[in-house]
């Protein structure tokens, strides 16, 4: 803010607010705004979040607007925001997250001769490099995710539905967190698309479809503890795969290993993607590798850095990323493993673990 002569920063992204002040609401259908000046921090919240914010938010002041009679003098979030901004001294330049700020709010902020500056580069850099406290939480999330994946894959058999497979792992995760007596919040993102057609959809929510003999499936599980997430995915089979399926499976397994071996501080994102694509191209499956090799993860399910073929940004020590090359072959199936790792100066540190071999992931060999 000092470098860019910013008099106040207006932060509206839920993940950025959580990062900066430790507060996260369940829903954001009502505006919640953080205002940071060189001298103070102010959080604007609706009345139903007042008690929660007083307990959880590390800020100097709350400004509350109410939607019920008798709640208080303010009834509109922008009224509170204007009150906070009226205290600005010096520069009339306001920092916003350009990618997240609605056009209407941006127009409102430029009233009274104010100018706007983009906060996204600084916040992306701050959140991208995790400190050891953050890493410790993500490491625990990765451990718990492994328990969930093991339970879900253990429930894969002919006749089990995708949602039943998901539920087995979800129950195991909740039981483990409860067993440890933690008071942290728990979030899970789970999907298990199965079959030669549904498994070719990289992002497909689970349904009541029941597993059939010779099915391929991709089980995805993100676990968030206190907001910080880790991701673990495995491709598996109900019965022995055919030759085309086995070839695709081994290709993505080798591609993931090549990408993992490329990870270290200073390597460019495109180089990690290129290491995976070289293996997939060599297997003749390049046309079916339709997404990036991985992404950052932390307070959001997907966040920078993005391991894309056209991203020249270097990886830095302390970044937490997923490595998840995939191929999706019509009539054959989808194939993807994902693991969460920390970027280190000399390589990577794995935060998730589960067997990745074909024999280990052939789950119901009686279903031939």
DSSP class per residue in 32-82: -EEEE-SS-EEEEEEGGGHHHHHHH---SEEEEE-SSTTS-S---HHHHHH
The pLDDT tens digits of the residues spanning 164-211 come to 999 999 999 999 999 987 778 999 999 999 999 999 999 999 999 999
Three-state SS annotation for 105-149: HHHHHCHHHCEEEECHHHHHHHHHECCHHHHHHHHHHHHHHHHHH
Phi, psi of 175 (to 5 degrees): -65, -40
256 contact partners, CB below 8 Å, separation of at least 6: 276, 323, 324, 325, 337, 339, 356
In this structure, the answer to whether residues 160 and 117 fall within a common structural domain is no
In this structure, the answer to whether residues 107 and 179 fall within a common structural domain is no
Give me the helices (H) in 155-232, please.
162-179, 195-198
Identify whether 346 is part of a domain: yes
Provide the CATH number for the domain around residue 314: 3.90.230.10
Residues in the chain predicted with pLDDT less than 70, given as ranges, are 365-368
In this structure, the answer to whether residues 251 and 178 fall within a common structural domain is yes
- 295: which strand partners? 306
What pLDDT does 32 receive? Answer: 97
Identify whether 361 is part of a domain: no
Identify whether 318 is part of a domain: yes
Identify whether 66 is part of a domain: yes
Helix (H, G, I), strand (E, B) or coil at 356: coil
Q: 127, 145, 167: which is the final residue of a domain?
A: 127
Identify whether 271 is part of a domain: yes
Domain count, the chain: 2
In this structure, the answer to whether residues 174 and 47 fall within a common structural domain is no
Residue 342 CB: number of other CB atoms within 10 A?
A: 20
- From the list 180, 164, 190, 295, the residue with the least C-alpha distance to 226 is 180
In this structure, the answer to whether residues 139 and 34 fall within a common structural domain is no
Phi, psi of 236 (to 5 degrees): -145, 170
What pLDDT does 368 receive? Answer: 44
The DSSP H or E segment spanning 15 is helix 14-21
For residue 47, give Cα distances in angstroms to 67, 246, 318: 7, 56, 38
Q: How far apart are the first and last CA of the chain?
A: 63
Identify whether 104 is part of a domain: yes
In this structure, the answer to whether residues 264 and 318 fall within a common structural domain is yes
In this structure, the answer to whether residues 180 and 33 fall within a common structural domain is no
In this structure, the answer to whether residues 67 and 188 fall within a common structural domain is no
What pLDDT does 365 receive? Answer: 55
Identify whether 363 is part of a domain: no
In this structure, the answer to whether residues 92 and 159 fall within a common structural domain is no
In this structure, the answer to whether residues 105 and 139 fall within a common structural domain is no
For residue 340, give Cα distances in angstroms to 41, 170, 203: 34, 19, 18
Overall residue count recorded for the chain in this entry: 368
What pLDDT does 259 receive? Answer: 98
- From the list 251, 255, 213, 249, the residue with the least C-alpha distance to 234 is 249
- 39: which strand partners? none
Q: Can you tell me the distance from the alpha carbon of 353 to that of 64, in angstroms, rounded to the nearest whole number?
A: 45
In this structure, the answer to whether residues 111 and 134 fall within a common structural domain is no
What pLDDT does 180 receive? Answer: 84
In this structure, the answer to whether residues 179 and 289 fall within a common structural domain is yes
Give the domain range for residue 134.
129-350
Identify whether 359 is part of a domain: no
Q: 127, 160, 178: which is the final residue of a domain?
A: 127
Provide the CATH number for the domain around residue 42: 3.40.350.10
The pLDDT tens digits of the residues spanning 238-285 come to 999 999 999 999 999 999 999 999 999 999 999 999 999 999 999 999
Q: 103, 127, 151: which is the final residue of a domain?
A: 127
């Amino acid at each position: 803010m000092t470098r860019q002569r910013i008099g106040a920063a207006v932060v509206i992204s839920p993940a950025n607010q959580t990062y900066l002040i430790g507060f996260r609401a369940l829903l954001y259908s009502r505006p919640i705004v953080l205002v940071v000046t060189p001298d103070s921090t102010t959080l604007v919240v609706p009345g139903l979040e007042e008690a929660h914010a007083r307990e959880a938010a590390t800020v100097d002041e709350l400004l509350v607007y109410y939607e019920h009679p008798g709640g208080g003098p303010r009834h509109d979030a922008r009224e509170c925001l204007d009150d906070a901004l009226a205290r600005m001294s010096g520069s009339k330049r306001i920092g916003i997250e350009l990618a997240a700020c609605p056009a209407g709010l941006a127009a409102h902020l430029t009233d009274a001769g104010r100018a706007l500056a983009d906060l996204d580069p600084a916040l992306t850099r701050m959140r991208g490099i995790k400190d050891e406290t953050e890493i410790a939480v993500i490491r625990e999330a990765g451990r718990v995710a492994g328990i969930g994946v093991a339970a879900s894959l253990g429930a894969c058999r002919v006749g089990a539905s995708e949602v039943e497979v998901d539920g087995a792992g979800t129950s195991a995760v909740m039981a483990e967190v409860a067993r440890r007596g933690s008071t942290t919040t728990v979030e899970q993102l789970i999907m298990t698309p199965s079959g030669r057609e549904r498994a070719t959809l990289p992002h497909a929510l689970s349904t009541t479809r029941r597993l059939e003999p010779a099915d391929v499936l991709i089980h995805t599980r993100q676990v968030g503890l206190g907001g910080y997430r880790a991701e673990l995915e495995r491709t598996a089979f109900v019965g022995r795969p055919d030759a085309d399926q086995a070839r695709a499976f081994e290709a993505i397994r080798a591609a993931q290993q090549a990408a993992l071996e490329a990870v270290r501080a200073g390597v460019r994102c495109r180089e990690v993607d290129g290491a995976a694509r070289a293996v997939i191209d060599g297997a003749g499956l390049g046309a079916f590798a339709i997404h990036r090799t991985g992404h950052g993860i932390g307070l959001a399910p997907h966040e920078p850095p993005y391991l894309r073929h056209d991203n020249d940004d270097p990886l830095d020590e302390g970044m937490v990323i997923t490595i998840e090359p995939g191929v999706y072959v019509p009539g054959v199936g989808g194939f993807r493993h994902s693991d969460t790792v920390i970027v280190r100066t000399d390589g990577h540190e794995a935060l998730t673990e589960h067997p990745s071999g074909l024999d280990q992931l052939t789950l119901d060999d009686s279903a031939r």
